[in-house]
Amino acid sequence: NAIKHSTLLEPTQKVLISKHDSPPRSNLPTFSYRDIATATNNFRRESIIGEGGFGPVFKGKLNTNQVVAVKKLNHSGLQGDKEFFVEVHMLSLMRHPNLVNLIGYCSEGEQRLLIYEFMPLGSLEYHLHDITPDMKPLDWDTRMVIASGAAKGLEYLHNHADRPVIYRDLKSANILLGEGFHAKLSDFGLAKFGPIADNTHVSTRVMGTHGYCAPEYAGTGKLTMKSDIYSFGVLLLELITGCRAMDDSHEHGKEMLVDWARPMLKDRMNYVQLADPMLRGKFPESVFRRVVELVLMCVQDDPHARPHMKDIVLALSYFASQKHDSHAAQIGSHGGEGTNGSSVDFDGAQMDVTEIRASNKDQERERAVAEAKKWGETWREKGKQNADDDLDYKSRW
């Protein structure tokens, strides 16, 4: 079943800020309000580089000359002390090349400030949806590098943090880009620790962003790691189509990107119709089809049938290694790059592709997950054979 457009995500309740609130326990440096006001030219409007549910984001320079991004809590905004404390606590526990680095914070009096490393290229949302005439659109290779980096960050949260973390707010606005379009996850105010012991899920208020929210979470409030997998599938679809996850200009019932794309997702022959026109046909068709199939696995209605992040990382690491040949014929309606796209050669291991339809039955769902795992196993085997190979995703960062 498609996600109902009428499903409303409950906004974050505003938490009243009290002078008696205790600052979060963390090993992060604390800054005085005066220091950060100086760094941002007293929070002048000209220093604003973005705005979100937490409040405005300012560019600043510390007295060490380090350039930073400062999130300043808007007391009347959607997020409050609870989200502030969560973000400080989460990011004080975690360090990874694909997570934004929280340098420190300020909780002086009623002030709530988060000080991050500055990401010079801004957000993925900006590069996909707010592009100006003088900007170069993201090419295929760059999109795959971004997808691979975001996947690595999410896989770290799920599998390698001290406690499993469910991100809960994966979207293009929260993917920040550094030099070389190195992707980092940001904004952890909605993150939750995952279930422990014999528990299968975390029950919580439904929060997040329209278009990215998994249908089972939106309907029941039961949050699992697989809720993040659905959101990642939407993000991946957004990357390859250039369309927003939610677009009210679409006809009724197709405002969400997944619902809009479903007719083209039913037939492999229609996959290339999903391609962002800004790509101008410059992408490897066989890899494009594989990415679409990965999207299909991620956005299945049955959360148990969705792949694990570790297999998504391995698959995307391979896809990111398959660079577009600028000398190859551009893909058009006449039929692509001289391949039927029915298989991909993983260093000699030919793998047949079976059409994944929206009306998947249990057997097809199992096959989809098995195929994702096979990608992972193939990639692991390749890594064992040649640890120095430049396709090894661990060595790319």
Exposure string over 23-54, b if 16+ CB within 10 A, otherwise e: ebebebebbeeebbbebbeebeeebeebebbb
**Do residues 7 and 13 lie in contact, with contact meaning Cβ atoms separated by under 8 Å?**
no
Please identify which of the residues 35, 141, 169, 228 carries the catalytic annotation: 169
Whole-Å CA distances, 379 to 159, 182, 278, 307: 18, 22, 31, 15
Calpha distance 115→59 (Å, rounded): 10
Whole-Å CA distances, 106 to 28, 188, 215: 10, 17, 37
Q: Which residues contact 158 (CB under 8 A, 6 or more apart)?
A: 164, 165, 166, 194, 225, 228, 308, 309
Reported residue count of the chain is 397
Q: Which residues contact 225 (CB under 8 A, 6 or more apart)?
A: 158, 164, 166, 194, 308, 309
Calpha distance 170→253 (Å, rounded): 23
Count other Cβ atoms within 10 Å, centred on residue 231.
Answer: 26
DSSP notation for 130-144: S--TTSPPPPHHHHH
Q: Which residues contact 177 (CB under 8 A, 6 or more apart)?
A: 119, 120, 121, 122, 123, 124, 127, 146, 183, 184
**Do residues 310 and 376 lie in contact, with contact meaning Cβ atoms separated by under 8 Å?**
yes
Q: Are strands 67-72 and 183-185 parallel, antiparallel or unpaired?
A: unpaired
Calpha distance 54→252 (Å, rounded): 31
Calpha distance 149→175 (Å, rounded): 10
228 is catalytic: no
Report, as residue numbers or ranges, the catalytic residues: 169
